[in-house]
Amino acid sequence: MTALPTIKVTEKHGMRRFLYPLKTLGMVPIGTDFTRLSLRTDSGVDVPYCIPDRHQEAVSIWFAVSLSPLESRTLSFVEGSPAPVPDGMQWDAGVDGLALRTTQQRLVMEIDDGASLSRVFYDNVEHLRRPVEIAHNEVKFRARPVSNDGVSLVSEIGASVRTVGSFGDGPTGNLSTEITACKSWADVRLSVEESAAGDVTTFTLPFAVKGEDLLCDFGAGGGIYTRLSRKPGASVIWSVDRELIWKLSNGDRLDYQGRLAAREQLWFHVVDAEKSIAVAITDVPDDLAALTAGIDTDGDIVIAFVAGAASPSNRYGVCYHFLNSVPAIAAATCPQSILLPPVVE
Domains along the chain with CATH numbers: 6-79 (2.60.40), 90-344 (2.70.98)
Residues near 114 by Cβ (< 8 Å), separated by ≥ 6? 99, 131, 141, 143, 145, 146, 163, 165, 175
CA dist 152 → 18, 50, 86, 118, 191 (Å): 24, 12, 20, 18, 18
**DSSP label at residue 128:** B
CA distance 343 to 7: 10
CA gap 189, 186 in Å, rounded: 10
Q: How far apart are CA 123 and CA 128, in angstroms?
A: 13
In this prediction, residue 35 carries a pLDDT of 87
Distance CA 306, CA 287 (A): 9
| Residues forming beta bridges with residue 174, ordered by sequence position | 164, 191
Environment class of 62 (CB within 10 Å of its CB; exposed 0-12, middle 13-18, buried 19+)? buried
Amino acid making up residue 35:
T
Cβ proximity of 115 and 161 under 8 Å? yes
User: pLDDT averaged over consecutive 10-residue blocks of the chain (345 residues)?
Assistant: 83 93 89 90 93 76 94 95 91 84 95 95 95 95 80 81 89 94 95 91 96 88 82 91 93 92 88 91 92 94 94 93 74 78 95
**Contact in structure between 63 and 77 (CB atoms under 8 Å):** no
C-alpha closest to that of 62 among 174, 152, 149: 152
Please tell me the predicted confidence (pLDDT) of residue 120: 97
Contact 204, 301 (CB under 8 A): yes
According to the model, what pLDDT value does residue 329 have?
58
pLDDT at 65: 95
Are the C-beta atoms of 60 and 52 separated by less than 8 Å?
yes
Give the pLDDT confidence score for residue 1 in this predicted structure: 38
What are the angstrom distances between the C-alpha of 177 and each of 109, 163, 187, 289?
A: 11, 9, 6, 25
